Amino acid sequence: MTNRSRVAQGADLEPAQRIGRLSRRIAKAGLDALLVVHPVNRFYLTGFRSTEGLLVVHGDGKAEFLADFRYVEMARKDIDPAAARVRLFQDAPRSLGAMAKRGKWKRVGFEGSIPVAQLHRFKKALPGVGWWVESEKPILDLRARKSRFEQSLIRRAARLGDEAFKRTVAEIELGMTEWDVRRILRGWIDRLDAEGESFGCIVSVGSNASKPHAHVTRRPLRRGQVLLIDMGVVLDGYCSDMTRVAFLGKPSATMRKIYDIVHDAQLRALDAVRAGRTGRQVDAVARRYVERKGYGKYFGHGLGHGVGLEIHEAPRLAKESGEVLEPGMIVTVEPGIYLPGVGGVRIEDMVIVRRDGCEILTQTPKDPIVLEG
Ligand code: ZN
Ligand code: ZN
């Protein structure tokens, strides 16, 4: 049995439960139906991947998946009938119109991420609907709390990320460019059998590392610089995300000092992660420490973000985040200090939130990596 089919089997149990939970939320909000078009949300709720299709979740616990000719045979085979009934359609607005008439729909939910033009077509096709309600949050909330099965998939993605990083670091030599390092990294991600990168991985050296999301350049790696690598893989649909910094030979006193501050801030924040705390509270632990050390204004981004089917999802660990952490959520913890024109340090791990703390998924050591090559 291949990995993929084993995953599909394990996941079979989940879509029906997810749709059941979502349907209860829809009924509570007084909606007749919720229209789901975002490919990631559709995949999460049906276990079926397609570039197009429309999932209609009703308030009575039922759901229908409208698939076009290209996908209908696969969808009928792969979607658990307990989750959603698959129907062939030619024209989504027309099929929806008939459905709305039969169900006498008055209030319909839609995702905030739906393309405006598509929402406009839906509205035209459903003239009897008087209330259109933005309702993506219940889906995002469900996605934020990972089941044990999803946790095991993300744990494996994180391991594979660690492995790709380790093998890449072993091949880095002074004189290579940022692009060379990125090419090696992508090669390992492919060879280790991941589906791909979870985002365009960042490799930045020297002063380029002072830009948190630097573009990769043909700048060469020189002795005395810091090298920042922020990378992730996708495995069975789930993302990993980690950042480490390596010193190319002996670092400057400033960069060494900054590394220690970021490292300490990260350890303190990891210690602070637990169910019941808000994203703001955990962010504040790292931020206050960096501020006390005099570098507050150089830590200009949030402490972390949720990771799952997408690289950035709920919840956020940030100054503005009132989201409450719950057991099973998976977030990154990634403080950083960036000195313009000099360089930057960020250290990032992925963790699973537990009732009394967290499980750290990223295994790559955090003692500074020194490359002498
Ligand atoms: Zn990252
Ligand atoms: Zn991240």
What CATH number does the domain containing 37 carry? 3.40.350.10
Bridging pattern class, strands 107-110 and 131-134: parallel
Cα of 243 vs centre of ligand 1, distance in Å, is 5
- How far, in Å, are 21, 63, 141, 143, 191 from residue 147 at the CA level? 13, 21, 12, 9, 28
Pair (223, 250) in one structural domain:
yes
What CATH number does the domain containing 291 carry? 3.90.230.10
Q: Which ligand is nearest to the CA of 197?
A: 1
Domain end position, chosen among 120, 143, 166: 143
Pair (20, 103) in one structural domain:
yes
Instruction: Determine whether 215 is exposed, middle or buried from the number of CB atoms within 10 Å of its CB (0-12, 13-18, 19+).
Output: exposed
Pair (114, 155) in one structural domain:
no
Pair (226, 364) in one structural domain:
yes
Cα of 196 vs centre of ligand 1, distance in Å, is 15
Q: What is the DSSP letter of 224?
A: T
pLDDT confidence band for 372 (50 / 70 / 90)? confident
Q: Which ligand is nearest to the CA of 202?
A: 1
Domain end position, chosen among 143, 161, 196: 143
More confident residue, 90 or 48: 48
Pair (206, 276) in one structural domain:
yes
Cα of 348 vs centre of ligand 1, distance in Å, is 6
Residue 1 lies in a domain: no
Query: Residue 300: what are its φ and ψ, rounded to 5°?
Result: -95, 5
pLDDT at residue 91 in the model: 81
Cα of 260 vs centre of ligand 1, distance in Å, is 19
pLDDT at residue 8 in the model: 44
**All residues with CB under 5 Å from ion ligand 2:** 241, 332
Token pair, residue 354, equals 């537990």
Cα of 131 vs centre of ligand 2, distance in Å, is 37
* DSSP-assigned beta bridge partners for residue 64: 56, 85
Cα of 1 vs centre of ligand 1, distance in Å, is 33
Token pair, residue 47, equals 């276990």
Q: Is the pLDDT of residue 27 over 50?
A: yes
Pair (97, 201) in one structural domain:
no
Residue 73 lies in a domain: yes
Give the helix ranges, DSSP H, for the chain. 3-28, 39-46, 69-78, 92-103, 116-125, 137-144, 148-169, 178-191, 253-272, 279-292
Q: Is the pLDDT of residue 1 over 50?
A: no
pLDDT at residue 93 in the model: 82
pLDDT confidence band for 111 (50 / 70 / 90)? very high
pLDDT at residue 7 in the model: 46
Q: Is the pLDDT of residue 225 over 80?
A: yes
pLDDT at residue 211 in the model: 92
Pair (71, 161) in one structural domain:
no
Considering the chain, what is the average pLDDT of its residues?
94
**What percent of the residues of the chain are helix, what percent strand, and what percent coil, each to the nearest 5?**
40, 25, 35
What one-character-per-residue DSSP string does 333-360 give?
Answer: E--EEEETTTEEEE-BEEEEEETTEEEE
Cα of 353 vs centre of ligand 1, distance in Å, is 18
pLDDT at residue 6 in the model: 40
Cα of 106 vs centre of ligand 2, distance in Å, is 41
**Portion of the chain with pLDDT greater than 90, in percent:** 91
- How far, in Å, are 30, 271, 365 from residue 368 at the CA level? 54, 20, 8
Token pair, residue 32, equals 């007749």
Beta strands across the sheet bearing 196-197: 196-197, 233-235, 238-239
Cα of 349 vs centre of ligand 1, distance in Å, is 8
Domain end position, chosen among 117, 143, 169: 143
Cα separation of 344 and 259, whole Å? 9
pLDDT at residue 89 in the model: 86
pLDDT confidence band for 373 (50 / 70 / 90)? low
Token pair, residue 142, equals 């469900």
pLDDT (mean) for 239-252: 96
Pair (365, 224) in one structural domain:
yes
pLDDT confidence band for 94 (50 / 70 / 90)? confident
Cα separation of 354 and 359, whole Å? 7
Q: Is the pLDDT of residue 83 over 70?
A: yes
pTM of the model: 0.93
pLDDT confidence band for 3 (50 / 70 / 90)? very low
Pair (197, 57) in one structural domain:
no
Question: Containing domain of residue 69, as a range?
Answer: 6-143
Pair (351, 206) in one structural domain:
yes
For 358-368, what is each residue's pLDDT tens digit?
999 999 999 98
Total structural domains in the chain? 2
More confident residue, 92 or 118: 118
Pair (130, 215) in one structural domain:
no
Cα of 299 vs centre of ligand 2, distance in Å, is 14
Pair (184, 113) in one structural domain:
no
